[in-house]
Amino acid sequence: MTAEIALEKLKQRRRPRRLRRTPALRELARETRLSARQLICPLFVRPGRGVKEPIASMPGQFRLSLDQLPQEAEELLSLGVPAVLLFGIPEHKDETGSEAYDERGLVQKAVRALKREFPELVVMTDVCLCAYTSHGHCGLVRDGEVLNDETLELLEKAAVSHAAAGADVVAPSAMMDGQVQAIREALDEQGFPQTAIMSYAAKYASAFYGPFREAADSAPEFGDRASYQMDPANAREALCEIELDVQEGADAVMVKPALAYLDVIARARERVDVPLAAYNVSGEYAMLKAAVERGWLEERRAVLETLTALRRAGADWIITYFAKDAARWLQEDFR
């Protein structure tokens, strides 16, 4: 028998289906695992009492008044979801987004209340101005331009106010250059060296934030966010953004959105050693929900497949509006 024929025989003997034969074998051969322990659930906090206001473009998601948060947190913890990411929808907006850094602001109150009742819950906060400014941009605006360095000071104040309230992790999402370093220095100087930073490092100027902007009432009044958020056509630039943020002191970095950016997640995973988060954003949630409502997709399988794909691409943490449902489905799987 020539060597070539021997090799041919060997190839024929290789049958990948052997390890797919039974559920137990498939379980054993599984390369990627999805766990509720790596999910982060975004929550929207709004003014009022006893309010659980549905968000039309995000079926199953709500704007919650403060008193509704404990129930939500309890449910998440009991399902094994360890973390929440808070967004505030303030009563008043102004030019400088002053409620974003008001120590009696909604998010600050929410952090205090949650940490008091659930010390073990990881409380993360979005640090940005867009939901708080009258113009809806993520920074200060002068002559139609979003200013970078002038904005940093306000982001520092917001982050410090969240840390003072007890946030475990602050998550700057304004895409201002130098925001991670500015926030790290402010936190350290003002006595919060233990507060971690998860940076929205590679955040793209994406159409998939549409439903969120309705939820948070944060759409820009003029123009768009292309002068500070990233061009969807760029991947190398994402690695540059991520490296900069790690150098500036980010404890974890994020790629956002997730689904159309799996290549960016995979490349980032190879480059950095800090935890990598993927944000499965509002538009990704909405399109799946819409297809499910029409009976075109099977929700449980489609959601778990999607979240598994994010883990497979290299994400450690997944920020997703499906957190509660996914955690429930994962529990059922192990019963």
CA distance linking residue 328 with residue 315, whole number of Å: 21
Helix axes of 179-189 and 149-165: crossing angle, nearest 10 degrees: 50
Which residue of 138, 169, 303, 318 would you call a contact of ligand PBG, by CB under 6 A?
A: 138
In angstroms, the CA 144 to CA 244 distance is 27
- Helix axes of 262-271 and 236-248: crossing angle, nearest 10 degrees: 50
Site string for ligand PBG, 229-268 (x = CB under 6 A): ----------------------------------------
Nearest approach, Cβ of 200 to ligand PBG (angstroms)? 7
Taking CB under 6 A as the binding criterion, the range among 9-17, 19-27, 152-160, 211-219 that sits at the site for ligand PBG is: 211-219
Assess whether 256 carries a catalytic annotation. Answer: yes
Structure tokens at 233: 């056509």
Instruction: Name residue 196's beta-bridge partners.
Output: 169
Q: Is residue 128 within the footprint of ligand PBG (CB under 6 A)?
A: yes
Q: Binding ligand PBG by CB under 6 A: which of 81, 111, 130, 278?
A: 130
Q: List the beta strands (DSSP E) in 149-283.
A: 169-172, 196-203, 252-256, 276-280
From the candidates 115, 256, 289, 324, which is the catalytic residue? 256
121 or 128: CB nearest ligand PBG: 128
**Pairing status of strand 276-280 against strand 317-320:** parallel
**Is residue 212 at the binding interface for ligand PBG, with CB under 6 A as the rule?**
yes
Q: Nearest-5° angle of CA 19, CA 23, CA 29?
A: 40
Smallest gap from Cβ 311 to ligand PBG, in A, equals: 19
Among the residue ranges 73-81, 88-96, 109-117, 210-218, the one whose residues contact ligand PBG (CB under 6 A): 210-218
Q: Considering the rule CB under 6 A, would residue 213 count as an interface residue with ligand PBG?
A: yes
Smallest distance from the beta carbon of 281 to ligand PBG, in angstroms? 4
Residues 99, 106 contacting (CB under 8 angstroms): yes
Does position 151 interact with ligand PBG (CB under 6 A)? The reply is no
Q: What whole-number distance in Å separates Cα of residue 122 and Cα of residue 43?
A: 13
Q: Which residues, 6 or more positions from 168, have their beta carbon under 8 angstroms from its beta carbon? A: 122, 123, 124, 195, 196
The count of chain residues that interact with ligand PBG, using the rule CB under 6 A, is 11
The strand pairing partners of 256, in sequence order, are 203
Select the span of 13-21, 126-134, 187-195, 286-294 touching ligand PBG (CB under 6 A).
126-134
Assess 282 for contact with ligand PBG (CB under 6 A): yes
Catalytic residue among 93, 115, 157, 203: 203
Q: Which residues are catalytic?
A: 203, 256
Q: Point out which residues bind ligand PBG (CB under 6 A).
A: 126, 128, 130, 138, 173, 209, 212-213, 218, 281-282
